Structure 1
Amino acid sequence: MDDRLAEALRATAGDNVSGWLAKLVRTELLRRAVAAEIACDQQHPDYLDWRAERWEETDGAGA
């Protein structure tokens, strides 16, 4: 990490930089876990069938 950025973090967060960074890391890990779960769900056959049905409904409505 850039020294100036580290100093800015300390000035902004006070002495609790490690706690702030830990919360940031947990938030990012949670975001990645949710994104991975969504990507996995989107490959599930039930979801693919549902999406195909909705696509046909919306595609047919516009014709």
Structure 2
Amino acid sequence: MSALITTVVVPDDALVFEVAREAAARHLHLITDGHRHLLCSIVPPGWRRCAAVERDTLPKDTVQ
């Protein structure tokens, strides 16, 4: 029995953080081969994971 692999093609006009949130919600990886981006349940050979991290842009001394 083989494992089921889920793959979703990321549209060219997609926003990075929206795609990253969708990947996390669906328990998928955001991956790239340098040309295309996919959401996938595995990271196949020749592909690598993309990191998208939202950070607070306010300096720490201005946060109340």
Question: Shorter chain as normaliser: what TM range?
Answer: under 0.3
Between structures 1 and 2, the one with greater strand share? 2
TM-score normalised over the length of structure 1: 0.21
Structure whose alpha-carbon radius of gyration is higher: 1
Of structures 1 and 2, the one with the larger relative CO (CA 8 A, separation 6+) is 2
Between structures 1 and 2, the one with greater helix share? 1
